[in-house]
Amino acid sequence: MRVLGIDPGLTRCGVGVVDVRPDRKAALVEVTVIRTPADMPLEQRLLAVGTGIDELLDAHRPDVVAIERVFAQHNLRTVMGVAQVSGVALHAAARRGLRVALHTPSEVKAAITGYGSADKKQVQAMVARILGLAEAPKPADAADALAIAICHAWRGSPAADGGAGGAAAGGAAQTPAQAAWLAAERSARTSGVPRRLAR
């Protein structure tokens, strides 16, 4: 499965592409960060991010697009930018008929580290280890995008509404990471959507 993961942001939008085999081994295809300056008009910033996502989708032809789920936070300006970029990404995927999945930060952390409250350094270290890299890609947005892509591939291709995927929700024995992911998802459904990965 080829997954294109997106860590949406207006100033920095992380995009990571991974190939994941049925045995869960993952390989890095590409990782980058699309940047836009704060003094650029909003419509031009969204156009630049959208163009960058379009180019990556066309170059790598993923099977699915995985995006970090937007949620409310104290910084309204930040969450607005995240929501706007998420909309651009969703539109780009829909135009190509691609499936889209949305994952909360806790789901991603649990899938990658086995712990839904892992810190950013733990996630980055595990991304590097999973992909066989000497160090995690920088900036953090790049590693986050890869974590989102790996999370999606490992949890069993859920629908965009956040439903449980087959591999994690089926009758097969769960790995510790899958069990932690399920707990994180249940918590998100009952207590509200958790915070995004700390910037």
The residues annotated with a catalytic role in the active site are 7, 68, 141
DSSP 135: S
What are the Cα distances from residue 101, in Å, to 37, 53, 65, 119?
28, 16, 6, 23
Residue 70 in tokens: 């937007």
Give me the sheet containing 64-68, strands edge to edge.
Answer: 26-35, 12-20, 2-7, 64-68, 99-103
Determine the Cα–Cα distance for residues 13 and 15; give it in Å rounded to an integer: 6
The values of phi and psi at residue 104, to 5°, are -75, 160
